[in-house]
Homo-oligomer: A and B are copies of this chain.
Amino acid sequence: MMKRVFMDYQSGMPLDPLVFETMKPYFTEHFGNPLSLHYLSEPVKEALINAREKVAELINAETPEKEIIFTSGGTESINLAIKGVASRNKNEGNHIITSQIEHMATLNTCKSLMKEGFNITFLPVDKHGTVDIEALKEEITDKTILISIMYANNEIGTIEPIKEIVEIAEDKKIYFHTDAVAAAGKIPIDAQQEKIGLITLSSNDIYGPKGVGALYVNKRVKIAPIILGGGQERGLRSGTENIPGIVGFGKAAELAKKNMKEEGKQIEKLRDILIKNILEKIERSYLTGHPEKRLPNNASFRFDGIEGESIVLKLSQNGIVAATGSACASQTLEPSHVLRATGLNHVQAHGSLLLTLSKWNTEEDVNYLLENLPKTISTLREMSPVWQMIEQGVDLEEKMKEWMQGEEEHHHDEEEL
């Protein structure tokens, strides 16, 4: 059997077996509704309280019962945070600031608000993907009601200067939301100490089940619900609670808090071996994202003269699971909007490879990747007309400008729906 090596954990995680064991009784035995009056509701009520506490502890939220809203996942949480703040506080202003490298959930939610009269500022980032703090300061107006910046980027791993952003938001009394889907469970997040207003969390990104997430809403922050009904989650997210999912998320949060530091060190070590060796062994290879301020599990690159899609397909034939751009971006044929925002042109951005590690990766995995990748890149480059031009010393910058002009004509409208 072919060796199988998984380095695309950002796109999907298997459940931690301990999490699965914790969930199981809630599928079959404890199937009650927490709102019922009879004895079947007791174990589920308790489980709900317990899970809420564990999720709160992961980000050091002060009052679980008032500040954690369970949702169906990161995307819903982001929608709830942004639309929830916007619709509840629209009398205070109609301006929202976010960045160009946010998840599509943030970008598309913000774009949809433009149709309702909101103005959105999409802040630029530098070549490492760090949000431009000076631009943030300049863009704030007295109509600004929300700043939404991700804690760390899911594609290039860059950790954003949250502390500085919060200071600015606090100073101007503007709500701050952070999409912490990629960061939570990987690096410490402290809602109280960091004074963050809203935090989006996803269960599957911390070895929990898919289909469940949470939004932390500091008790001083006012939002409106987007899904209405029976009034669950203090009226902020109706719908019968997905108890097995929530229980699993709670257990995953508990394990993440307990093991983050140790596991992080181990994963970071593997990441550093990957980065060092890939940059050394493969000519014209580049790290994307920040060289130091990056998530411990993220090793992202680009390679001149080839397409990321081809790299991923070729690696897949050898049992290696990897990504190019984010899974969400692969809906379209567009190159990653994140890489584009860091200043790369279409052709450069198309040559990306994203390796995301988990606690299950080993040195053996890393060695297998390091054996395979250089060969894969060479093989693909041999077939690549672009690479041949590079070798022949053609002025690619000039060539690319020509191509891009052609491409831009096809891609001027990136808006979804």
Q: Which residues of A contact B (CB under 8 A)?
A: 6, 8, 11-15, 17, 20, 27-29, 31-33, 35-40, 44, 71-76, 78-79, 103-105, 108-109, 111-112, 204, 209-212, 224-232, 235-236, 238-245, 309, 312-313, 315-316, 319-324, 327-332, 416-417
Contact = CB atoms under 8 A, between A and B. Distances in A.
Contacts of A32: 11-12, 321
17 contacts: A11-B36, A12-B33, A12-B240, A14-B27, A35-B328, A35-B331, A38-B315, A38-B316, A72-B72, A75-B238, A76-B239, A104-B229, A104-B230, A109-B229, A111-B228, A210-B244, A231-B331
Number of identical monomers bound together in the oligomeric complex: 2
A31 B8 contact: no
What is the predominant secondary structure among interface residues of chain A facing chain B? Answer: loop
Given A35-B327, A40-B321, 7 more contacts: A8-B33, A36-B327, A74-B239, A76-B239, A104-B238, A108-B238, A210-B245
A411 to B, nearest CB: 15
Contacts of A331: 35, 230-232
Interface hub of A12, A17, A39, A229 (most chain B Cβ within 10 A): A229
Contacts of A29: 14
A36 B72 contact: no
Given A228-B108, A416-B228, A239 B39 contact: no
A108 B321 CA distance: 45
B17 A240 contact: no
Nearest to A23: B27
B108 A73 contact: no
B36 A27 contact: no
Contacts of A36: 8, 11-12, 321, 323, 327, 330
A75 B35 CA distance: 15
A75 B227 contact: yes
A20 B27 contact: yes
A240 B417 contact: no
A6 B40 contact: yes
A231 B241 CA distance: 25
Given A37-B316, A38-B312, A312-B37, A240 B330 contact: no
A313 B40 contact: no
A37 B231 contact: no
B33 A15 contact: no
